[in-house]
Structure 1
Amino acid sequence: MKTTIVSPKTYTYGSLILGGILRERGHAVTITRDLSTTGEVTLLSLFSTSQLLDPEIKEFAKRSSKIYVGGPVGLVPEIVLGELEVDAVVMGEGEEVVVDLVEEGPSAEIPGLAFLQDGEVVKTEPVPASDLDHVMPLIPEDLKSQNVRGANVYIETHRGCLGGCTFCQVPRFFGRSIRSRSLENILAEVREMKKMGVARVAVSGGTGSLFGYGKEVNKEAFIELLSSLAEILGPRNLSVPDMRVDFVDEEILEAVREYTVGWVFFGIESGSEKMLKVMKKGTTPEKNLEAVDLAHRCGVKVGGSFIVGYPGETEEDYQATLDFMDEAMLEDVFASVAEPIPGTPLAKLALDYPKDDNLLYREHAGDYRALKLSEAEARCFNLMLHGQNCKPIPKIVDDATYSAFLEEARTQGRDVRRVMDLLEKYRGQIV
């Protein structure tokens, strides 16, 4: 049976894995980022809520004869089935599901599926993958040309997260225990990717240093992972960007400096202790600053992500974030308007929060009032500008950068309002 896996614009790691599993079972499988290609059976890999609102994706789903959707959007299948004309949604991990789904079609006997039957949504209980040491993924010829935050591909070394951040879907999708792949399986995969022309690889998994986690951080396993990957790719082609501040120490950061491009990416989110508690980050501004300082002392550069417009964020909370940035002197800053991803606690919080108090809908009346921004957009825009001034070597914001930041803030505000509209549309089904 000819199966086409479509991963619009960006190849998701999961789409490569499912392609490899189907190929191993004798299926003729192709994988593409192009929405013009369908097969006898089409698997559509979606990672973002906004993709459910994309007119091209909606049209693609409509004209595909047998089409099944997988990816993080499956956390709330009612929305997927309501927005896209598809035959089924994979609600969790796909390894144990994909072969039966492609060969037999959706049924109540297959775990982790949602589909419509007589106008009602039928859901079966998801089953986590029993073994993450998978067969060789299906590696497309053009994977080597992909660029996702500087890497051709993000590989998965483990699943799960020990954190409980209210805005994040990872612990809801993969669970809060850590399941790691074997080092041998990871290295074999990366060697094959290199043969296919892939040069730059990023280690993913939510928090890179949790690879091999048992009852505590397994530093030896993580360091061996980095050193082994660096032997294959070279340190300049390896990155391990995503880290939690509470799972790094001097040894881990020195390994990052020695075996990778020498950057980490901390989810700092806010300089306000009150907002960090609302987000259930499990850290404090002081601990965040200590981690940044430690990384700098170890010769590692730090990028930090920040969230603005979170329900309950006051002007004082926002100012605390700006003050934190002044002190931290991060090499890079990423700002985002709080997005209530369906299935997360933030989604329910945002739905229940009075709209008049939601910064997404409140008109900004401060320094940027002439730009006609919402308060959330204005804070996002200002934070991006502020980040340029707080770098170890401050950068002058030219007209092009100013315009790009402004457009980014406006786009984020628009997209998050669309997600809010979507949540409101399905409130009765998901809350």
Structure 2
Amino acid sequence: MSAAPPARRLYIKTYGCQMNVYDSERMADVLAPLGYAMSDRPDDAALAVLNPCHIRDQATEKVYSELGQIRLMKLARAEAGEVMTVAVAGCVAQAEGEEIMRRQPAVDLVVGPQAYHQLPELIARTHRARGESLACDFEPQAKFDALPARRPSGVTAFLTVQEGCDKFCTFCVVPYTRGAEWSRPAADIETEARGLAERGVREVTLLGQNVNAYDGAEGGLAGLVRRLAAIPGLDRIRYTTSHPRDMDDALIAAHGEVEALMPYLHLPVQSGSDRILRAMNRGHGAKSYLALVERIRAARPDLALSSDFIVGFPGEREEDFEATLDLIRAVGFAGAFSFKYSPRPGTPAAAMPGQVPEDVKSERLARLQALLETQQRAFNAAQAGKVLPVLFEKSGRYPGQIIGRSPYLQAVYLEAPDRLIGQIVAVEINRAGPNSLVGARVLETA
């Protein structure tokens, strides 16, 4: 009996958001039937895929730096008589495909976020015509119809329900790289979620560029959440990323009524200045955001919030920045992502007057992050002495330790046997750090 051929090695490096993480997982699923097995290093890979985010200029430049290193590996492999295929995927591929090929000839193909289901065909074409660079994109419907069944590797999973964006914030490239808003049919999502639950997944995070704009089910995202909450074994549901303009009454009510919907909401605001919010084309003001937060907390008093902030947007004055700090103090966030504004080619904000000097942006970002970190530490510290339901996901860094997540996405460390992995456990919290919690003892297993 002949031995099975050795597996081709596949290296995927993911940058950026949860959507990219999901896309990378699905690329691995698509390529598995071709004999590709994952590798954590590019130098032994037959196929190296970079899947970057296009939101921040720094992330894009990291891709070109990484490609420079992979080019050297590809040349070394060629000298040894081995073939290495290099692909760039995601929003950067969609927005800068020609530029990628011009700047880095080692790239064999670029594939947009709606086209990775075609990777087997594209790779085959590249192998047949070595040296021909290929770029491709397709409609999202075709992509989801073509993807194979999920192969989850843990007890949590991402689940894309919506793609694209119609909001056209002036700083953002997503409408140009991901296209118009589109929602997957609820029946398809429910089928995928049931399959995940049958394979041991207990928590799903519903993904979308504007996930609460989802309209593929009766009742929108709230209706979808209620359908998924009825699936046996699926005990926790999260969703990200939300837009304040799409946070409707039904979804707010679901936070108070659906036990499986976790009390942690990522609700980007970007700025606390109405003048800057108008320039960003956000479609909401600071007062309306604060009123929305008040309504959500009335429905679910224990809900914690995280958000996104951009400092140094064109035209931002000191009083605008102070308004952002005032909003942060008024809300009290459990976590946040914050960035200096970076111009993205082709977006309206890149051509706006009043670009803020880099040193001013850096100074403001440091002040904003100091306030946010203080709030995050205070929120974590407030968990000490409480009993929290924790979904344990994996073994810890040393024998006898396991790691899970609280309802608020905090990492929780506990000395306990591995048999609790995959279980939701009531844990008494005895200590809080800046980014994690430590459990004292197990009180109950769900």
Both proteins in one fold, TM over 0.5: yes
- Alpha-carbon contact 2:186-2:224 (below 8 Å) kept: yes
Paired residue secondary structure (2:202): coil
Classify 1:34/1:186 alpha carbon distance in 2 versus 1 (closer, same or farther; 3 Å).
farther
RMSD: 4.0
Q: Write the distance in 1 (CA, Å) between the matches of 2:237 and 2:324.
A: 30
- Alpha-carbon contact 2:115-2:143 (below 8 Å) kept: no
Partner of 2:367: 379
Offset at 1:228? 2.7
Partner of 2:114: 93
Output one character per residue of 1:110-168: Cα deviation in whole Å (capped at 9) or x when no partner: xxxxx998xxxx88674433435434546566x428xxxxxx43221021112111233
Offset at 1:91? 3.9
For structure 2, which runs of at least 5 residues remain unmatched after alignment? Answer: 75-83, 385-432, 436-446
Partner of 2:294: 293
Identity of aligned residues (%): 21
Q: Write the distance in 2 (CA, Å) between the matches of 1:107 and 1:166.
A: 42
- Alpha-carbon contact 2:213-2:220 (below 8 Å) kept: no
- Alpha-carbon contact 1:160-1:174 (below 8 Å) kept: yes
Q: Write the distance in 2 (CA, Å) between the matches of 1:340 and 1:315.
A: 20
- Alpha-carbon contact 2:202-2:233 (below 8 Å) kept: no
Classify 1:314/1:252 alpha carbon distance in 2 versus 1 (closer, same or farther; 3 Å).
same
**Alignment pair present for 1:7 and 2:18:** no
Partner of 2:271: 270
**Structure 2: which amino acid aligns with 1:380?**
L
Question: For the pair shown, which has the larger CA radius of gyration, 1 or 2?
Answer: 2
Q: How does 1:61-140 map to 2 (within 5 A)?
A: 61-64=71-74, 65-74=84-93, 75-81=95-101, 82=103, 85-95=106-116, 97-105=118-126, 126-137=137-148, 139=150
- Alpha-carbon contact 1:52-1:80 (below 8 Å) kept: no
**Structure 1: which amino acid aligns with 2:124?**
E
Q: Write the distance in 1 (CA, Å) between the matches of 2:149 and 2:249.
A: 37
Q: 1:157 aligns with which of 161, 173, 184?
A: 161
Q: Write the distance in 2 (CA, Å) between the matches of 1:235 and 1:175.
A: 31
- Alpha-carbon contact 1:19-1:138 (below 8 Å) kept: no
Q: Write the distance in 1 (CA, Å) between the matches of 2:289 and 2:85.
A: 48
Paired residue secondary structure (1:264): strand
Paired residue secondary structure (1:134): helix
Q: 2:211 aligns with which of 188, 199, 208?
A: 208
Q: Write the distance in 1 (CA, Å) between the matches of 2:371 and 2:98.
A: 35
Partner of 2:330: 327
Partner of 1:17: 26
Partner of 1:421: none
Output one character per residue of 1:266-291: Cα deviation in whole Å (capped at 9) or x when no partner: 11111101111221111111221121
Q: How does 1:333-348 map to 2 (within 5 A)?
A: 333-341=336-344, 344-346=347-349, 348=350
**Structure 2: which amino acid aligns with 1:12?**
V
**Structure 1: which amino acid aligns with 2:313?**
Y
**Structure 2: which amino acid aligns with 1:131?**
A
Q: Write the distance in 2 (CA, Å) between the matches of 1:234 and 1:57.
A: 42
Paired residue secondary structure (1:283): coil
Classify 1:189/1:56 alpha carbon distance in 2 versus 1 (closer, same or farther; 3 Å).
same
Higher relative contact order, structure no. (Cα contacts within 8 Å, ≥ 6 residues apart): 1
For structure 1, which runs of at least 5 residues remain unmatched after alignment? Answer: 109-114, 146-151, 365-373, 403-431
- Alpha-carbon contact 1:329-1:392 (below 8 Å) kept: no
Paired residue secondary structure (2:325): helix
Offset at 1:247? 1.1
Partner of 1:192: 195
Q: Write the distance in 2 (CA, Å) between the matches of 1:391 and 1:12.
A: 27
Give the TM-score taking structure 1 as reference length: 0.70
Classify 1:106/1:90 alpha carbon distance in 2 versus 1 (closer, same or farther; 3 Å).
farther
Q: 1:29 aligns with which of 25, 36, 40?
A: 36
The number of equivalent residue pairs is: 361
Paired residue secondary structure (2:142): coil
Output one character per residue of 1:164-219: Cα deviation in whole Å (capped at 9) or x when no partner: 1123332111223x222222322232333334443332111122222226xxxx66
Q: Write the distance in 2 (CA, Å) between the matches of 1:207 and 1:29.
A: 33
**Structure 2: which amino acid aligns with 1:209?**
N
- Alpha-carbon contact 1:4-1:43 (below 8 Å) kept: no
**Alignment pair present for 1:172 and 2:176:** yes
Partner of 1:241: 240
**Structure 1: which amino acid aligns with 2:91?**
P
Classify 1:137/1:125 alpha carbon distance in 2 versus 1 (closer, same or farther; 3 Å).
closer
Partner of 1:361: 359
Partner of 1:370: none
Offset at 1:353? 6.1
- Alpha-carbon contact 2:13-2:51 (below 8 Å) kept: yes
**Structure 2: which amino acid aligns with 1:229?**
L
